Structure 1
Amino acid sequence: MSDFSLDGKRALVTGASRGIGQALAVALAEAGAKVIVASSKAGGCSETLTKIKQIEKAQVVELSADLSEPEAVMNLAKSSLSIWGGIDILINNGGTIFRSPVVDYPFSEWQNVMRVNVDSAFLLSQQLGKEMIKQGQGKIINIASMLSYSGGITVPAYTASKHAIAGLTKALANEWGKYNVQINAIAPGYIRTDNTQSLQDDSQRSKEICARIPADRWGETADLKGAAIFLASNASNYVNGHVLAVDGGFLAR
């Protein structure tokens, strides 16, 4: 089981204030990693900090950055590297969604979704990846989606961004695998979070979703912990450029 240990590893998790990001940050800390949790606003990760500080010997630091602003993203990368002298694990979880029929979809919202979901992941991966290459090891985990595989309805920018995340994962793996840096993605299925609240509240749509999931239930954020620890640890050293669906079997239908 030592291959799954993250003892002494230094991690950055974006979008860590709640939901999936919070669950993954806690999971890394439970596995022994020192964790930097980041959200869009100062103090946004207070609840996550409280959870991690309850873990024996856990080390956690909070940072903030508006992922729609490239300069703020670059500063986040710089600050993250300075805290413990490097980063071993990056989880690009921070993201946003905007729902509207395509014919009425504001271009400004399209651009914002792309900046937050794709540009920030690229910049953080680029800046931290440089240092991972120098240190001869590193793990980058991008958070993809079921909409990395399909088109969805009324979420064109989000869908395009999550297809882009899957492609970026493979592109980086192709270039950095020879440096012992592995880049993979997790594609969550239908997980109970703020982003899916409108679907959960629609009884008919929720029923249709569960009918397609062999597990016959919505996923919980805790269901993603094992995948994250695996992809962040030495256990996945020969896994690269892979998009791991954690979906209760949704794609199998």
Structure 2
Amino acid sequence: MIFKRGKRISWFQFPTFLEFSNIQHGVFTRNQGYSLGPFRSMNVSFGVGDRKKHVEKNRHLISQCMDGAELVFISQVHGAEVLVLQNENKSRFETPPASFTADAIVTDLPNHLLVIQVADCQSVLMFDPVQRVVANVHCGWRGSINGIIGETVGVMKSHFGCQGSNIRAGMGPSLGPCCAEFVNFKKEIPNKFWKYKDRSDRFDFWAISRDQLNVAGVLLENIFSSNICTRCRTDHFFSFRGEGTTGRFAVAIGLKNDWRK
């Protein structure tokens, strides 16, 4: 990924999206924000015990560096529900806290930045440059085994007419195969996923997501993985497994205001 630094904020970007001038995206680091203590310092979640005013300031920083785009959050529950942001329902997304419960969001509306909050789970960004549609997926291990990625691609196809071969995908920093240990995997994870496990009960959820994207029709050459483990890189990202009480960093994507159908 490519590192960017602003006056008071830093983020990474996926090379696969940078050839398109009319979308914006960012994997925002935990640094240079306003939060203190275990939430230091770019925490964007209201649900972890951080001070509300600090979270609001951090979210404002993200909006500012993304051309003032409207930030859109959902209430993430580790499920497989996919929501579509439309003119008819967008006001409910724009008023914090998020009033929609889901784990993925899709839209073709410009000037709306789809934000997922994570601290070990994956955020999977998707963009179809033909239909001009973006998506952001919260994909933890429960989301993976429940097929949240395939569900999201399915909504992109059915609702917007997207084709898998046109979709670009970026898999954000998350718990890597080096650290994703599941000692109770026989109870938690269906055996069809055991092929992604090593001898130490660690699972490669990066490979699972890549394969699920590919099965849904996304070409392997259009899938980019950050290959950054959040537990190993707490200098840049929050990690629940590594830190316990901690913040959530933001991963976001949206169409710019000048891109309309």
TM-score, with length taken from structure 2: 0.41
Higher share in helix: 1
* Greater strand share, structure number: 2
Greater RCO, 1 or 2 (C-alpha within 8 Å, sep 6+): 2
